[in-house]
Structure 1
Amino acid sequence: MNSGKTYDIQNPKALLFSLCFVLMFAVMNGTMFNIAIPDIAESFNLLPSQVSWVMTGYIMVFAIGALIYGKLTDTIALKTLITFGLCVFSIGSLVGFMAPNYTTVLIARLIQAVGGAMIPAIAFIAPIRYFPNERGKILGIISSVMAFASGIGPIMGGVIGGFLNWQFLFLTSSLIIITLPLLRANLPQEETNFVKLDYLGAGLVAGFIVSLLIGITLSYPISFIFSVVFLILVVIRMKTAKNPFIPPKLFMNQSYVITIMVSFLAISCLFGLMFSVPIMLRDVYGLTTLQIGLTMFPGAMSAALIGRKGGQLVDQKGSRTVLLWSMLLLMTGFFIVSTTVGLDPIWMSLSLIFPMMCFPLVQSSGADTLASILKDRETGVGMGVFNLLIFVSGAISGAVVGITLDVFRPQVPANPIGILGEGAVFSNIFLVFMGLIFIGFLIFKTLFKTYVVKAES
């Protein structure tokens, strides 16, 4: 499947709409269940450590699946992958809706993750493959949908769980299958070349991701030892296998490594913001779940609205320029939020617009930069690593913020114009995020080198 090939898309708008629709369902499926965790625990009389696997298990399988599907897109037709993924996801959703016990709920979530991991992989590959002349704009739209769904998911989860019950979240997720006929009708015909997958390499990568995420999300120190062992084995396998699961030459490209490093840093801070703001609004302001969702809604809407324009800027000005400017805006946004902690919730809601609108800008410009760097046969696995880092970044930032809130509770903010009080710790967290973005900005500006890829025959 060469990037130079022209694909016959009968209805590009319908294809884009269906991709956005299915992606919105997939992202909402993750964020909706955050709200349902206490209700599930109450239904089955579970401890917090037990019910946490509803999210932890889903994240682990989803992260691994995103990388594997990314690898498979280089050789298997997207129409085949998306048919498999949506069917499996819907089956998992129906199993969860009818689940009589917690074990079945957990199995349903894992089945959902197996199918749902296909969605972000294809959502980022499709614009690169089918819309090469509008790649930046389409990636901007895709990223804005992800940002909007992340913001609207908790609201939907609260409404559905409040008026019905948590099982109807599974039923809502199963509606994703209605997009399959539209996707199949508009995806072009492609050849499927089944090749032997490096199963040992894939297994070692999976072991590394699982042990790392368990260590991060459940605070098991021994898991980090296993993750180091798996990482060493992954590197050895990459160097010795004839066709390794992840080709080592991918990481010999300095521009690729710098781009994923900086994107990881920026997206980690954004996920850290989305993790810490609901806690802040509850602890500092005493808001209800619905009020928290409404406070964050303007930020989610700004992300949805800015995505398409940001994507057009990527096409016009270049992804490197947009990524640099979006990081400067993100730094400014974090400083504004750090300063307004403790003010009226309306001011906090307005200040959140600045960093949250940068989510699609960072994601689309980062993805477009990678697309211009990667060779034809590296696009799938290269973007798969990018998607993998997105999900791992969420787990890492959430764990770090959680530990910070457990250990530190200063009353004086480091921000010189911040407000004294119990919100000081959150002000400091946002100030640290600003500093990390500044480091990422300097790394990208000084070390990134323009790299033009020639299409493979």
Structure 2
Amino acid sequence: MSAAQSAAVAQEPVNPEEQNRMAVRALILLLITFILGTLCLQGFNLVFTNIGADVGAPEQAALITSLPSIVLGIVCFIYGSLGDFVSLKKLIVFGLVTLFVGSLFGFIANFFFTKNLWTVIIARILQTAGEQVAGSVYLVIATKYLKNELKVIFFGLFTAGYQVSAAIGVFAAGLLSSIAWQYLFLIPAITIVFLPFLLRLLPDRRGGSKHVDWIGFTIFGLASAFLSLFFSYNAWWMLIVCIVLFALFAVYINRANDPFITPAFFKNTRWLAAIMLIVLFYFTNYCMSPIFNSIGGTLYKMDVTQVSHYIVWAFLVAALFGTTSGWIVGKIGRTPAIITASVLMMCGFVGSALCINTNFGLLTLFACIFYAGCGLMYSPVVSTVLDTLPVDESGRGVGMNDLVMNVTASIGIAIFGAQLGGTALGGGSIIGATGPAAVYSNLLVIAACVVFVGLIWFLCFHKHIYRGESKQEKHEVAPAPEEA
């Protein structure tokens, strides 16, 4: 959920029933927009290696996913802050126009002109920045303008919409890649027709004059971008620039009059211990789909369409566990839920690593197990992190969660994606295979080890993280995710 949910909204006399009806109509259009944008994102996550090869840049293909992911993490935070003083109408105009421009640019530049890696990346960045507005505005509307009994329903629809769009996304990517992957860009372009309707339905209200720290956002965002670029290009000067920018950010927040985040925020040891759970558990968040796609193409001689028919079931499992995660956590508590989710993720990775050369249907089963863990993980781990912060810092906490989640995942896909076509891990494996099979098996084992480190970290620090909370508080769950 975005920080914008806690935005102070100026009040004006409005009939509550009429306001509720308008909110419901707006939410339906916003949900469709968010679903189509997420569908496009998941489609590109599945076929980015194919696109990289097609544009003549296979070694940099992971940037198609990693750079838009960084932008996603940053704009989640920025849009939350903008909701404090910018009208929702202006925000949605910016979002839908940006999404439309990115869609047309990506399709035209790569279909009618020479295909190029950077036109793909620029288009995906524009699409990502645009579609996320729909997600942020959706959560603001659901929180501020719906009757209480409808809020839970629409938060549940938001969660289900994300997971189902991920499932449809991989299916659409498989279908369109057999025709022309450029058509993926056009999937969310249709949402521009919603703009006049949303302008009539959305409230034209401004929040307070809360300061938005553009300088802080810019420094922090650039530092995060160079960190991901370093892992993609292995250029040490990028790491140096990243370190310098983070150092500059530290100096800035210590001296600025009103930084978006203060040094005291980073001195909260409970939060530091908890945020590491997101770093470790979400490091491999984007890795299973491209590894699965590469295994299908290289070892089983399947095209992307055939692969998508299998992996779509894994996303449907994630949708099931994601929408029921609140009920599960309510029954067993957050600590058992996090342990169960991490074990499912590890079993999915290890099982896949052991079955590389057996049967693709069996691989799909283990992919389903992995995504069951992913679906279950979000609510307990995010609520755990947020509960380490005081109420007046919860908005910034949600923003930092989104940023860390997306930057971490983008670094993970940059590292793992760079190894998919390499031979560094092909010398041997636990299944005795060599070559590409060994590469895939070893990558899956390494991914399982990352999740295992996250589980060990949680077991070591969970008492400190939950310090001072009552038994009832430990069973509370987070609201619907802004992204998974």
TM-score under structure 1 normalisation? 0.81
Alpha-carbon shift at residue 419 of structure 1 (Å): 6.9
Gapped runs of 5+ residues in structure 1? none
Tell me if structure 1 keeps the 8 A contact 2:173–2:308: no
1:2-401 equivalences in 2 (<5 Å):
3=6, 10-11=20-21, 17-34=28-45, 35=47, 38=50, 42=54, 46-48=56-58, 54-55=64-65, 57-99=67-109, 101=113, 102=116, 107-122=122-137, 142-163=158-179, 165-180=180-195, 190-314=205-329, 319=334, 322-375=337-390, 377-401=392-416
Paired residues in the alignment total 446
Tell me if structure 2 keeps the 8 A contact 1:412–1:420: yes
1:144–1:367: structure 2 CA closer, same or farther, 3 Å change rule? farther
1:114–1:186: structure 2 CA closer, same or farther, 3 Å change rule? same
Tell me if structure 1 keeps the 8 A contact 2:317–2:372: yes
Q: What letter corresponds to residue 158 of structure 1 in structure 2?
A: G
Tell me if structure 2 keeps the 8 A contact 1:143–1:360: no
SS state at 1:269 partner = coil
SS state at 1:268 partner = coil
| Distance of 2:200 and 2:344 partners within structure 1 | 40
Q: Deviations over 1:108-154 (max 9, x none)?
A: 44432432343455566666667888988866654444344334323
Tell me if structure 1 keeps the 8 A contact 2:40–2:169: yes
Alpha-carbon shift at residue 223 of structure 1 (Å): 0.5
Q: Deviations over 1:142-185 (max 9, x none)?
A: 4444344334323212322433x344322222123345566666
Q: What letter corresponds to residue 425 of structure 1 in structure 2?
A: N
Q: Aligned residues: percent identity? A: 22
1:446 correspondence with 2:463:
yes
Alpha-carbon shift at residue 300 of structure 1 (Å): 0.8
| Distance of 1:292 and 1:245 partners within structure 2 | 44
| Distance of 1:313 and 1:130 partners within structure 2 | 28
- Which shows bigger deviation, 236-245 or 310-319? 310-319
Tell me if structure 1 keeps the 8 A contact 2:280–2:451: no
Q: Deviations over 1:258-296 (max 9, x none)?
A: 332202311223323334222233333332211221221
Alpha-carbon shift at residue 234 of structure 1 (Å): 0.8
- Which shows bigger deviation, 307-316 or 343-352? 307-316
Tell me if structure 2 keeps the 8 A contact 1:125–1:380: no
Alpha-carbon shift at residue 227 of structure 1 (Å): 0.5
Alpha-carbon shift at residue 299 of structure 1 (Å): 0.7
Gapped runs of 5+ residues in structure 2? 474-484
1:234–1:175: structure 2 CA closer, same or farther, 3 Å change rule? same
1:2–1:399: structure 2 CA closer, same or farther, 3 Å change rule? closer
| Distance of 2:191 and 2:468 partners within structure 1 | 38
Tell me if structure 2 keeps the 8 A contact 1:341–1:426: no
Alpha-carbon shift at residue 412 of structure 1 (Å): 3.6
| Distance of 1:154 and 1:450 partners within structure 2 | 41
Alpha-carbon shift at residue 203 of structure 1 (Å): 1.9
1:411 to 416, 428, 447: 428
1:208–1:89: structure 2 CA closer, same or farther, 3 Å change rule? same
Tell me if structure 1 keeps the 8 A contact 2:287–2:417: no
SS state at 1:343 partner = coil
SS state at 1:155 partner = helix
Tell me if structure 2 keeps the 8 A contact 1:31–1:150: yes
Tell me if structure 1 keeps the 8 A contact 2:232–2:415: no
Q: Pairwise CA RMSD of aligned residues?
A: 3.7
Tell me if structure 2 keeps the 8 A contact 1:147–1:300: yes
Alpha-carbon shift at residue 55 of structure 1 (Å): 4.6
